[in-house]
Amino acid sequence: MNDFRSEDSASDIPPLPIGMRRGASGPYEPGGSTVPSWLVAFLLVAVAVLMLRNAGFLSWMSFRDAGQPRAVTPRGELAQDEKSTIEIFQKASPSVVYITSLSHHRDRFSMNILEIPEGTGTGFIYDDAGHIVTNYHVIRGAQAARVTLADNSTWEATLVGYDANKDLAVLKIKAPASQLRKIDIGESSSLQVGQKVFAIGSPFGLDQTLTTGVISGLGREIKSIGGRPIEGVIQTDAAINPGNSGGPLLDSAGRMIGVNTMIASPSGVWNGVGFAVPVDIVNHVVPELIQHGQVQRGVLGVSIFEDSFARRLGVKQGALVRDVVEGTGAGAAGVQPTYIDDNGEIQLGDAIIEVAGRKIRTASEVAKALDGHKPGEQISVIVERDGKQVPLTVELIAAPQK
């Protein structure tokens, strides 16, 4: 058989070494498909960098996210108590106002009368007629006042009346009824310690500020700016700061249950103890202020010694009568005053030990017993005279306005 293979047959040609090519004359020479050494080095470095970055050693080289905003994580539904709080604020805040008290000063150069802001506070819309309720101490001594509504409109206010003994005042603005959303009124007689409460006000001039807390105590007593005690005061831990005065304290139904009036704090800022005048007092006093400009409060027509002096005189209980005003019900009923006789001896007058069925132990309790009674009413009074209890009937007179 013929052999078709030759010297150049493929079976006689050795395999081509890597990196070698066949030369023109037969010998193998380097070149052709050779991978450059620099490329191999670059690839090795790139692989090492990727491995190190993935291992967390080169986190600063995460170029993919550099300069790009993070994706937003969906939050889902608001919690039910958050929804409730938001609803209460949105419902009540349009009824809360910002009050600026002003004083008048004459410019020394132009001789013009200037209105100078003296202080700020909070109030709330009481009715559609434009009556604004606030604390008396917010506008005390002011010669003018401005009221800013929740829509940022500002109105000049006039003073309708005030009751210093309850630290309440009523202003009036001439805003259209369409801009006035009166606050919902609650009641304070059924409140319980632990109930959630919400305060809206203008602490440090920051209007429409909401703070939350609970009723910490009930039946507290504070001294009013008029000097008489305010009973039944609500204690709360909702943050109340300067500027909150006169603002509403709300229950979880969004009803006004008190007027924030003062805090107990040595520093003058919130320290966890705040007080509000209960709405039952507000709803009794405000209509009288709107109608009469003052509260017509009945009194006996006597002046009373301080307890410390009465105790030094030997009166162990009750309120010792100092003077009796002529022409009053006390005088007509025969109440006896304390006096000094011709020998310079102190002759003790009557000690009041009961008023309208309420026991009297101290001088301040007389005013408490008369709270809510009107001029012209006849009430029962028991006095101690010469060691004996004497019952009397006294017709009340109108308390003088300071």
Q: What local confidence, expressed as pLDDT, does residue 220 receive?
A: 93
Mean pLDDT to the nearest integer, 38-57: 74
Q: What confidence tens digit (pLDDT) does each residue in 266-302 have?
A: 766 677 899 999 999 999 999 999 998 988 888 999 9
What's the confidence (pLDDT) of residue 5? 43
Confidence band for 10, pLDDT divided at 50, 70 and 90: very low
- Percent pLDDT > 70 in the chain is 82
| pLDDT band at residue 349 under the 50/70/90 scheme | very high
Binned at pLDDT 50, 70 and 90, residue 102 comes out as confident
Across the range 164-188, mean pLDDT stands at 95
355 contact partners, CB below 8 Å, separation of at least 6? 300, 366, 369, 370, 379, 380, 381
pLDDT exceeds 80 at position 80: yes
- pTM value > 0.75: no
Residue with tokens 């150049």: 8
Average pLDDT, integer, range 121-141: 94
When pLDDT is averaged across residues 194-206 and rounded to a whole number, the result is: 93
Reported as a pLDDT band with limits 50, 70 and 90, residue 394 is: very high
Count CA atoms within 13 Å of residue 200 on its CB side: 26
What is the rounded average pLDDT of the residues 359-381? 90
Q: Is the pLDDT of residue 108 over 80?
A: no
User: Domain 298-398 is of which CATH architecture?
Assistant: Roll (2.30)
- Shortest CA distance to 353 belongs to which of 376, 335, 372? 335
Q: How confident is the model at residue 59 (pLDDT cuts 50, 70, 90)?
A: low
**How far is residue 205 CA from its own chain's centroid?**
12
In this structure, the chain runs to a length of: 402
Q: Quick one: pLDDT at residue 63?
A: 53
For residue 317, what are its two tokens? Answer: 């209980």
Instruction: Delimit the CATH 2.30.42.10 region(s) of the chain.
Output: 298-398
Confidence of residue 56 (pLDDT cuts 50, 70, 90): low
Residues classed as catalytic: 137, 167, 245
CATH number of the structural domain 196-292? 2.40.10.10
Q: Which CATH architecture has domain 91-179?
A: Beta Barrel (2.40)
The confidence band for 41, taking pLDDT boundaries of 50, 70 and 90, is confident
Among 128-142, 318-332, 388-402, name the one with the lowest average pLDDT: 388-402
Domain with CATH 2.40.10.10 in the chain: 91-179, 196-292
Query: In which band, very low, low, confident or very high, does the pLDDT at 33 lie, cut at 50, 70 and 90?
Result: low
Cα gap 263→265, rounded to integer Å: 6
pLDDT at position 117 is 52
* Confidence category of residue 58, pLDDT binned at 50, 70, 90: low
How many other C-beta atoms can be found within 10 angstroms of the C-beta atom of residue 383? 26
CA-wise closest residue to 132 among 143, 112, 120, 146: 146
Model confidence over 223-232: pLDDT tens digits? 888 778 898 9
Higher-pLDDT residue of 346, 44: 346
Q: Which whole number is the average pLDDT over 187-210?
A: 93
Q: What confidence score (pLDDT) does residue 377 get?
A: 92
